[in-house]
Structure 1
Amino acid sequence: MLLPFCHSCLAEEIDPELKAKLMQAVAEADSFVDEFDAQVWLMQKSAVLERFVKDPDDRLFLLRHIHREAKRADLPPEFVLAVIQVESHFDQFALSRVGARGLMQIMPFWKNEIGRETDNLMHIETNLRYGCTILKHYLERANGNWAEALARYNGSYGKIWYAEKVMVAWQKNWR
């Protein structure tokens, strides 16, 4: 469905500083096929992400990296946003009671499994690379079944509560 687009309406609502930052973010957003698509996606998602991340520079940095890593792993970036919302509320320094770390709540044992003990899971790019790769692995293992893949990712295989939380976040905020 196409919605009407009003350039003058958009121009009145956009903070000039945010517009400049968005232009820079788009220029650095190498995972988009089209510059206009990048502008629209970054602007739309930035508006939603503002609830969680106040600083516009931080939001655009995060969105560019989420988009890049999701696309690298062949995942929908919007779905990765929903996972991060549920896992950490976009807190890059989140630490769970069981030791999971960062935006996508990666368990440290993964570093040892792949021989990269010095990786910093609180580092945004590292965390996203691990998280998207792990999620994609579980999605393939589950033959495309998102609920099963999410339960495996969260360590709650056989239960649906986690998948439901992610699906609600996706439907409500990121779709």
Structure 2
Amino acid sequence: MAAGLRRRGLLAAAPAWLLLPGAPAHAGGQLEEPLADSVRTALRAAVLSAGPPELMFASTEARLSYLRWLAAMSDRLYRRKPDDAVRREFLQTVWYEARRAGLDVSLVLGLIEVESAFRKFAISSVGARGYMQIMPFWMRVIGDGDPGNLFHMQTNLRFGCVILRHYLDRERGDMFLALGRYNGSRGRSPYPDAVFAAQRKWVFDPASRV
């Protein structure tokens, strides 16, 4: 039962140091592991960018639902990112990259809060970079080899979402274990619990409009 609760993120809230805006980045400890050529090729293809995200909607209602989400999330993120244009571009890119990777947008926002406190140029003690704290070896394995590009917003968010999707697939849909692998602490609960706790702040209820 306890393990099940941890997997749903319903245990203790995240430690305070993980959520402080000015705190150093503590997470982002993905471990470099051997990848089959087919996996490496697929991951490389997944991170190739053809330009900024272009949002497409199946219907007018879907577009309106997105705009309501954007307004609600923009209000919640204002303290972290007071510039309106920067905040909206960031949220649009998170929404696009999370959905592109088949991830819950609220989970990705929770992960970013824990990883970097929404700081674009955050660097962890182990060298992980940017919003989603990507380890530089990923640029060598599936990127262009330049770790400096991990400070580019869309590059960082795309790598983070693609890597988390890869770990989730490896763990056969178990997000608790996938988050642990993302953090380099697979099987231990503090990091997944922290992300699940932060995620709850970013869940959008269309009925509430807030």
Is the TM value for this pair above 0.5?
yes
Once residues 141 and 124 of structure 1 are traced to their aligned partners in structure 2, the CA distance between those partners, rounded to angstroms, is: 26
Where is the helix percentage greater, Structure 1 or Structure 2? 1
5 Å-filtered alignment, 1:7-156, equals 30-33=55-58, 34-118=62-146, 120-156=149-185
State percent identity of aligned pairs. Answer: 45
Q: Contact conserved, 1:139 with 1:145, CA < 8 A, in 2?
A: yes
Q: What's the C-alpha RMSD, in Å, of the aligned pairs? A: 1.4
Task: Give SS of 1:121's match.
Answer: helix
Structure 1 unaligned spans of 5+: 1-27
C-alpha displacement at 1:127, in angstroms? 0.2
Once residues 142 and 113 of structure 1 are traced to their aligned partners in structure 2, the CA distance between those partners, rounded to angstroms, is: 21
- Greater shift in the superposed pair: 32-41 or 75-84: 32-41
Once residues 124 and 86 of structure 2 are traced to their aligned partners in structure 1, the CA distance between those partners, rounded to angstroms, is: 22
Once residues 61 and 133 of structure 1 are traced to their aligned partners in structure 2, the CA distance between those partners, rounded to angstroms, is: 19
Cα 1:32–1:99 change in 2 (3 A) is: farther
The TM-score normalised by the length of structure 1 is 0.80
Give the AA of the match of 1:81.
Answer: L
Q: Contact conserved, 1:79 with 1:170, CA < 8 A, in 2?
A: yes
Cα 1:31–1:100 change in 2 (3 A) is: farther
Once residues 132 and 68 of structure 1 are traced to their aligned partners in structure 2, the CA distance between those partners, rounded to angstroms, is: 10
Give the AA of the match of 2:154.
Answer: E
Query: What per-residue deviation string (whole Å, max 9, x for no partner) do you get for residues 118-163 of structure 1?
Result: 2500000000110000001111111111110100001111211000
What is the number of equivalent residue pairs in this alignment? 147
**Partner of 2:188 in structure 1?**
159
Give the AA of the match of 2:68.
Answer: V
Task: Give SS of 1:103's match.
Answer: coil
Q: Contact conserved, 1:31 with 1:68, CA < 8 A, in 2?
A: no
The TM-score normalised by the length of structure 2 is 0.67
Of structures 1 and 2, the one with the larger relative CO (CA 8 A, separation 6+) is 2
Once residues 123 and 149 of structure 1 are traced to their aligned partners in structure 2, the CA distance between those partners, rounded to angstroms, is: 24
Give the AA of the match of 1:170.
Answer: Q
Q: Contact conserved, 2:140 with 2:146, CA < 8 A, in 1?
A: no
